[in-house]
Homo-oligomer: A and B are copies of this chain.
Amino acid sequence: MPVGTAGSVKAVQQEELTAKVGAQIILGNTYHLYLRPGCDIIEEAGGLHPFIRWNHPILTDSGGFQIYSLSDIRDLEEEGARFKSHLDGSEHWFTPENVVEIQRILGSDIMMMLDECPPAQSSFDYAKSSMELTHRWAQRGRDAFLNTEPRYGHQQFQFGIVQGGVHEKLRIESSHFMTDLDTEGIAIGGLSVGEPTEVMYEITDLVTDHLPEDKPRYLMGVGTPANLLESIARGVDMFDCVMPTRNARNGMIFTRHGTVNLRNAKWKNHHKPLDPAFPSQLCSQYTMAYLRHLFKSNEILGLELASLHNLTFYLWLMDEVRKHIRQGNYAEWYPVVAEETEKRL
């Protein structure tokens, strides 16, 4: 899922997301949209879909991750989390119930539960009590979901989030809890927050073993192309990450043969496209010398082309994944590709 933080996938037009990237669903951030433009504006517009002019599915997170990473938490208690806006310092409450209400107003197709995200290296005791709070919040969030109605006549779904830090016992317990809660899909949260990659894979592998096979599994905030391929091998179905668009804006692009730094002096005199056979404008239409020039000159066009390319590459890779899963040879195919994408060109 391309990430459209504040109602726009950065530097990409909505029509390009469908026509060029082939995106089927995008992500919006409840925290950002709640603070700006605010629920009143989005409700007047008839929800996030008409507001941003996107007629395909939208997943919105609960805002939980952003209140821990961006805002100044004033008070974390049983009822919910009080935080100060990173924009203007104003105080707000998120509770398991009101993030359901906010996401009803956003009209997201998939809404996420409010959870607590403990730091990567939390102790067992800290991670346990944090997970238990997340579970109590999840029960309240599910009740709020089941007791309220969609606002705009289309169905909405809710995903719970497995927590438990890097502690296997807690992750198993949380997986069972979220399975029993019977949400429409289940997310794995609290990973890719600083722990070693191998630990992320191990926990992912463990959690997916304890999740129902007939519901989508969503690994939140992950990751590189190799991270995705490895996680898919461990049973994950859905991802979101700012990496393709954020790295693009820094001149870093992903390709099937490795990553490329467009600012690198080695491209200065490279008057050929990078990969004429790859279906992105960046790869097939423009020379590397020109792309480097755009980044060295801080031209917005560079941000546009690189963002479009990286998203096109990620979605292309997921198409390849589906093809190889259907062909039954994913396990043999993916390690070679994963290693290739980690190279530096």
- Report A's interface with B, CB cutoff 8 A: 6-8, 10-13, 15, 32, 36-37, 41, 44-46, 51-53, 268-269, 271, 281, 285-287, 289-290, 292-294, 296-297, 299-305
Contacts and interface: CB of A to CB of B under 8 A. Distances in A.
Given A7-B299, A41-B293, A53-B285, 9 more contacts: A8-B300, A8-B301, A10-B300, A10-B301, A12-B301, A32-B297, A41-B268, A45-B289, A304-B304
Contacts of A44: 269, 271, 289
A271 to B, nearest CB: 5
Contact of A293 (B7, B285, B290, B299): B7
Nearest to A286: B53
8 contacts: A7-B293, A7-B297, A10-B299, A15-B281, A36-B296, A37-B289, A41-B289, A300-B300
A124 B168 CA distance: 86
A233 to B, nearest CB: 35
Counting every copy of the chain, the complex holds 2
A26 to B, nearest CB: 13
Contacts of A12: 301
A300 B304 contact: yes
B11 A293 contact: no
A281 B269 CA distance: 36
A335 B292 CA distance: 46
B41 A301 contact: no
A300 B11 contact: yes
Contacts of A53: 285-286, 290
Nearest to A36: B297
A105 to B, nearest CB: 14
Given A268-B41, A269-B44, A296-B37, A51 B289 contact: yes
Which residue, of A41, A269, A302, has the highest number of chain B Cβ atoms within 10 A? A41
B51 A290 contact: yes
Given A51-B287, A297-B6, A11 B304 contact: yes
Nearest to A245: B300
A304 to B, nearest CB: 6
B36 A301 contact: no
A305 B46 CA distance: 22
Contacts of A6: 293, 297, 299
Contacts of A45: 271, 287, 289-290
Nearest to A51: B290
Contacts of A287: 45, 51
What 3 pairs between A and B have smallest CB-CB spacing?
A11-B300, A8-B301, A8-B299
Contact of A8 (B8, B46, B268, B294): B294
A14 to B, nearest CB: 8
A306 to B, nearest CB: 12
A280 to B, nearest CB: 12
Contact of A7 (B32, B290, B304): B290
Contacts of A51: 271, 287, 289-290, 293
